[in-house]
């Protein structure tokens, strides 16, 4: 393994287990606390080095990985004056937030002017994928930069797809999230109807699972929906953000399902903000 000091920003439901997998592979981690100190304490107990700010992390790392909630944090952290002042041409950024292609391109342009190599690399696979190191990574960017980063990314992932230039990673992730957001609503409605019609859960799993109505989402969420377990997982406010990215990208198209899904996520965002995104179907279930 090439010796790399890795800065990690965004130690949430995804970032913390991803960072732990990097530690298991021997990478030297550089972190700082935002609001919640617990992830930093956990990583420090395994040897991570704590800094006082994002800019201090950048000053002390060769590769920076970020997985923040939204475009807003990409802007306020990665494009802050303090961070920009610490960028030097030998550094590399692997940006893994589910954000917009426009923000990714803006970030790239500014980092490129500083000579920093950048990969646009959002992920799929949920918190289980983050814990097990089996994420799918959707990369936009230069093939050479990906090859230099492959070993590092594979410490957190099972599959890497190079899908195009900077922005293409964020774009394909937005398409995935549009589908996932719609499939979630459809799955909750299917469970509500099955319960109304007194169809056994295992019959639903097995029969629909091998029929034309099968969906990855129904299979993944069947137990938690029937148990009314809405612990996140993936928070509803983050799914709303993702479906909105897709709808905004599609402003010249007619996408009635995506728009309806967005309306539902917006409707429940206040009440179920930090519950799992499956709570979008809570009111369909008796």
Determine whether 201 is an active site residue: no
- The pair of three-digit structure tokens given for residue 269, joined into one six-digit string: 């965002």
Q: Is 220 in the site for ligand NDP (CB under 6 A)?
A: no
Measured from the CB atom, the residue of 9 and 264 that comes closer to ligand NDP is 9
State the catalytic residue, choosing from 20, 170, 173, 240: 173
Whether 280 and 242 have beta carbons less than 8 Å apart is answered as: no
User: Segment near ligand NDP (CB under 6 A), from 217-225, 232-240, 243-251, 252-260?
Assistant: 232-240
User: Shortest approach of ligand NDP to residue 147 CB, angstroms?
Assistant: 24
Distance CA 93, CA 115 (A): 11
User: Shortest approach of ligand NDP to residue 11 CB, angstroms?
Assistant: 4
Pairing of strands 157-164, 5-9: unpaired
Distance CA 238, CA 194 (A): 28
Rule CB under 6 A: choose which of 5, 13, 84, 136 binds ligand NDP.
13
Q: Is 53 in the site for ligand NDP (CB under 6 A)?
A: no
Distance CA 265, CA 275 (A): 12
Distance CA 177, CA 171 (A): 10
Q: Is 78 in the site for ligand NDP (CB under 6 A)?
A: no
Q: Is 136 in the site for ligand NDP (CB under 6 A)?
A: no
Q: Is 73 in the site for ligand NDP (CB under 6 A)?
A: yes
Quick check: helix, strand or coil at residue 9? strand
Distance CA 148, CA 258 (A): 37
* Separation of CA 273 from chain center: 17
Measured from the CB atom, the residue of 12 and 281 that comes closer to ligand NDP is 12
Q: Give the footprint of ligand NDP on residues 22-51 (CB under 6 A).
A: 34-36
Distance CA 19, CA 48 (A): 10
Please identify every residue annotated as catalytic.
Answer: 173
**Residues of the shown chain interacting with ligand NDP in the complex, contacts defined by CB under 6 A:** 9-15, 34-36, 67-69, 73, 76-77, 97-98, 123-124, 126-127, 233-234, 238, 242
């Amino acid at each position: 393994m090439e010796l790399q000091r890795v800065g990690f920003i965004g130690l949430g439901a995804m970032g913390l287990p991803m960072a732990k997998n990097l530690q298991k592979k021997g990478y030297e981690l550089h972190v700082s606390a935002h609001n919640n100190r617990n992830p930093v304490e956990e990583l420090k107990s395994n040897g991570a080095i704590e800094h006082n700010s994002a800019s201090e992390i950048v000053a002390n790392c060769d590769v920076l990985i970020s997985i923040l909630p939204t475009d807003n944090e990409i802007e306020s952290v990665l494009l802050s004056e303090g961070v920009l002042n610490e960028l030097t041409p030998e550094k590399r950024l692997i940006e893994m937030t589910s954000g917009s292609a426009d923000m990714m391109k803006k970030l790239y342009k500014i980092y490129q002017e500083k000579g920093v190599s950048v990969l646009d690399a959002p992920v799929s696979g949920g918190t289980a994928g983050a814990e097990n190191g089996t994420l799918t990574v959707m990369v936009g960017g230069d093939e050479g930069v990906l090859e230099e980063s492959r070993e590092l990314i594979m410490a957190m992932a099972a599959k890497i797809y190079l899908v195009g230039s900077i922005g293409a990673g964020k774009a394909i992730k937005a398409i995935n999230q549009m589908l996932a957001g719609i499939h979630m609503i459809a799955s909750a409605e299917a469970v509500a109807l099955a319960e109304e019609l007194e169809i056994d859960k295992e019959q639903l799993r097995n029969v629909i699972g091998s029929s034309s109505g099968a969906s990855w989402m129904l299979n993944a969420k069947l137990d938690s929906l029937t148990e009314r377990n809405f612990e996140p997982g993936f928070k509803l406010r983050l799914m709303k953000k993702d479906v909105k990215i897709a709808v905004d990208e599609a402003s010249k198209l007619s996408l009635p399902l995506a728009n309806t899904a967005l309306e539902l996520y917006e409707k429940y965002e206040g009440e179920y903000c930090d519950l799992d995104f499956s709570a979008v179907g809570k009111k369909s279930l008796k």
